[in-house]
């Protein structure tokens, strides 16, 4: 596992998933709040992953140029960012346009159907 992550599992979870995961969550929420596209999450997650790899190298003697660790870190951070984005976007769509949309599950919304009375 250490060969794939470029560091120990504890360092990966503590630094990447928890610390940079919080930053990724906030970034995903900010993208949704400012009505930006989800495609911007990809470069942001790659930049956060680079920061995570650097701190792993600088603080815990991990491998800085471990390509597999960079990819795994980027995918985990993108996934966290995606979840935050979809939760916030669904909430915003329902709050901003209550006459048009209603909440459908946790991550989605749908158009309101007219009442057949």
Q: What is the pLDDT of residues 94-117, one digit of tens each?
A: 999 888 888 888 888 888 887 644
Is residue 43 assigned to a domain? Answer: yes
Written in H, E and C, the secondary structure of the chain is CHHHHCCCHHHHHHHHHHHHHHHHHHHHHHHHHCCCCHHHHHHHHHHHHHHHHHHHHHHHCCCCCCHHHHHHHHHHHHHHHHHHHHHHHHHHHHHHCCCCEEEECCCEEEECCCCCC
Is 14 within the bounds of a domain?
yes
Q: Residue 78: which of 33, 16, 7, 12 has the closest Cα? A: 16
pLDDT at 117: 46
Residue 117 falls within a domain, yes or no?
A: no
Q: What's the whole-number mean pLDDT along residues 82-86? A: 95
Residue 75 lies in a domain: yes
116 inside domain: no
Give domain status of residue 20, yes or no: yes
Residue 7 has pLDDT above 80, yes or no: no
Q: Structural domain of residue 104, as residue ranges?
A: 2-111
| CB neighbour list of residue 48: distance below 8 Å, 6 or more residues apart | 20, 23, 24, 27, 77
The predicted model gives 72-84 an average pLDDT of 94
Q: What is the pLDDT of residues 10-49, one digit of tens each?
A: 888 898 999 999 999 999 999 999 999 999 999 999 999 9
Structural domains in the chain (count): 1
Q: Report, as an integer, the average pLDDT of 55-79.
A: 88
Which residue from 26, 1, 28 is spatially nearest to 12, judged by alpha carbons?
1
């Amino acid at each position: 596992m250490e060969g794939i992550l470029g560091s120990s599992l504890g360092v990966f979870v503590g630094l990447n998933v928890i610390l940079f995961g919080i930053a990724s969550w906030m970034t995903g929420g900010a993208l949704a709040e400012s009505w930006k596209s989800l495609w911007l999450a990809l470069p942001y997650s790659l930049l956060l992953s680079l920061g995570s790899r650097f701190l792993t190298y600088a603080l815990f003697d991990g491998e800085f140029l471990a390509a597999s660790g960079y990819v795994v870190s980027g995918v985990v951070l993108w996934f966290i960012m995606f979840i935050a984005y979809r939760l916030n976007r669904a909430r915003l769509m329902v709050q901003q346009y209550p006459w048009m949309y209603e909440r459908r599950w946790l991550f989605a919304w749908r158009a309101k159907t007219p009442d057949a009375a």
